[in-house]
Amino acid sequence: MPEHEIGTRDDWQAARAALATLEAEYAELGQKVTEQRRKLPWVPVEKEYQFDTRHGKRTLAELFDGRSQLLAYNIMYGPDYELGACPGCSNLGDELDATRVHLSHRDVTLICFSRAPIERLNAYKQRMGWQFPYVSTYATEFPFDFGLALTPQQAQEIPEVNSMIDNPPEWLEHWGRQVGAKLEDGLRENPGFIAFARENGTVYHTYTVTAPDPFVTTYHSFLLKRTPKAEPEAARAWRKDEYPEASSI
């Protein structure tokens, strides 16, 4: 017998109507959250950060590339990762290039940050086939100032992090092997989006959101929520060139 419910078209229509009511409430709440997010105060960025990019040193203002808004995703790829960036973050990175053309025509520049040195970011970017600007925050205070990374001392003060390091679940041990870093080093990176605005020559920090917020996930995860079957609990994130089985596509 199937584990899912079997019904008539009328059964489906009634259940779908009930779900539509919930979806409408969810959409309305989402709009309210968006409005409140845009009411957050803008905080001037007072430090003069210098980042390593494929084209040399750049300031935060220069990363805007002439636009007034900057949205950046912080990929978990710390200096201690020997085998590449977090596979889950890499999945998300795979989906960013297609949307850049639309964001750029709406006055938004989209980039990614990581703490690994720029040479390693360039090599990984080539491996993944990414086109977005990939910027290194290596040896800067930027990721620590904006909550995109933890110092060793900060990590030690978080019980949840220490618990995961002392008693890691199997999936986390597997993740550590994938990135090639000790968990105490790997878990100091914080995946998330950070937004800035530039107005009258001043750069402002406007928003940050980090995992496990649903926004910090892949678009294909949103698509999977519309499919009939739940994703297996044992499902893991793989880099697109490392799937254990050949794609049928």
**Token pair recorded at residue 160:** 């949840």
* Tens-digit pLDDT profile for residues 91-150: 999 999 999 999 999 999 999 999 999 999 999 999 999 999 999 999 999 999 999 999
Q: What is the mean pLDDT of residues 68-84?
A: 97
pLDDT at 80 over 70: yes
Whole-model pTM? 0.91
**Token pair recorded at residue 230:** 């739940």
Q: Architecture of 43-223 per CATH?
A: 3-Layer(aba) Sandwich (3.40)
If one compares 237 and 11, the residue with the highest pLDDT of the two is 11
pLDDT at 246: 53
How confident is residue 50, by pLDDT bands cut at 50, 70 and 90? very high
* Tens-digit pLDDT profile for residues 60-73: 999 999 999 999 99
* Tens-digit pLDDT profile for residues 225-235: 888 888 776 67
pLDDT at 222: 79
List, in sequence order, the alpha helices (H) in 60-200. Answer: 87-94, 97-104, 118-128, 142-145, 152-156, 159-166, 170-179, 183-186
In the chain, where the domains are located: 43-223
Residue 103 to residue 18: CA distance in whole angstroms: 35
Residue in this structure with the two tokens 């491996």, named with its chain if needed: 127
Of the CA atoms within 13 Å of residue 95, those in its CB half-sphere come to 13
Q: Are 148 and 194 in contact (CB under 8 A)?
A: yes
* Tens-digit pLDDT profile for residues 140-187: 999 999 999 999 999 989 998 889 899 999 999 999 999 999 999 999
